[in-house]
Amino acid sequence: MRVALGADHGGFRLKEEIKSLLEEMNIAYEDFGCDCEASVDYPDYALPVAEKVAAGEFDRGILVCGTGIGMSIAANKVPGIRCALVHDMFSAKATREHNDTNVLTMGERVIGPGLAREIVKIWLETEFQGGRHQRRIDKVTGIEAKHLGVK
């Protein structure tokens, strides 16, 4: 398991917390920035993480901004990315089991580090269930193909 990480200034501190968690879990990661709390633009950090995951260079991506919303919108523009904005443990489990999400976003201004750590753990450890859920994902991929010419 290799995880690509990114954040804007609104998510910088939570990204640092997630790095500590991944180290505790012995999970390899690469940090694609930002590297301080100076103001930056979230798409600049969502894009490299989403592209690396879509290319198969990383198994998963985790992105943090103030709300998690901007990062999720940006990441979901990259074909092959299934990104979920998650702020509760039920959704962390369900979005892996049902949606096979490969990118997780959270908002540092929305949840505390304790809950965020639990969400990350659950999201990284939960397997996709396949079956009827794969059929639905295939239909989502079909939407990409129709609108972007991606096969």
> What is the C-alpha to C-alpha distance for residues 62 and 131, in angstroms, rounded to an integer?
26
- Position of minimal CB gap to ligand RB5: 70
Cβ distance to ligand RB5 smaller for residue 27 or 47: 47
Tell which positions 37-76 bind ligand RB5, by CB under 6 A. Answer: 42, 65-67, 69-70
Q: How far is the CB of 8 from ligand RB5 (least distance, A)?
A: 5
- Of 9, 34, 65, 83, which is the active-site residue? 65
| Residues near ligand RB5, by CB under 6 A | 8, 10, 42, 65-67, 69-70
Active site amino acids: 65, 98
